[in-house]
A and B are shown apart, each in its own frame.
Chain A
């Protein structure tokens, strides 16, 4: 099993450009999450999905959209990138909402918006 993979690993964008970050998991997990990590702020939840075809807003959803067309994939889109979206983005997945389960994280995508 590859676990959780993220594409790309690193990207540089100009302000106003768009891009899509791809997250894939091969563990048949129902739940998937997108976080951003900024210095001194820990990880903050952007959007999440509780199953194929569903999405929901997290703590910091503005400027991002997501889609979960297939159970194994969770896409994060930036329609018009801004410098404030420079960050490291982590995807995670979990099998179900039981409190004793944890989330499995991907290796991250580093995004720089100029």
Chain B
């Protein structure tokens, strides 16, 4: 079956530090890959996506590259801010015969301090 594995949190960083959150996946077929972000008390928001191998998704200084050879989609940011504190979810999307279904990782909490 399809699954997503994320590094366990919480991840605590100082402002301006470099961020990496690891994500690997198992899937039958050719999934699209996503990173969602959930700020405290809010729903999930799409952060970035990549739909095929070697694509790079980017948004708000965050980047992730779809690596088919290592089945990975690691999230990176060069300099985090306090406002980046949130829970980050990696997800994959596979079309089935009836509907596209998102499979989520368990989420990684990021805490950025001054």
Interface size class of A (residues with CB under 8 A): 20 to 34
- Closest Cβ neighbor of B107 among chain A residues: A42
Which of B89, B93, B96 has most chain A Cβ within 10 Å? B93
B114 at the interface (CB under 8 A from A): no
**A45 interface residue, CB < 8 Å from B?**
yes
Report B72-105 CB contacts with A as 1/0, cut-off 8 Å. Answer: 0000000000000000010001111011111011
Least distance between B82 CB and chain A CB atoms (Å) = 22
Q: Which listed residue (B43, B46, B93, B106) contacts A99, Cβ 8 A?
A: B93
28 examples of A-B residue contacts, CB within 8 angstroms: A31-B100, A41-B106, A42-B89, A42-B104, A42-B106, A42-B107, A43-B44, A43-B102, A43-B104, A48-B99, A48-B101, A50-B99, A56-B98, A56-B99, A90-B44, A92-B102, A94-B100, A98-B95, A98-B100, A99-B30, A99-B51, A99-B95, A99-B100, A101-B100, A102-B34, A102-B49, A102-B93, A108-B42
* Residues in chain A within 8 A of chain B (CB atoms): 4, 31, 33, 40-45, 48, 50, 56, 58, 90, 92, 94, 97-103, 105-108
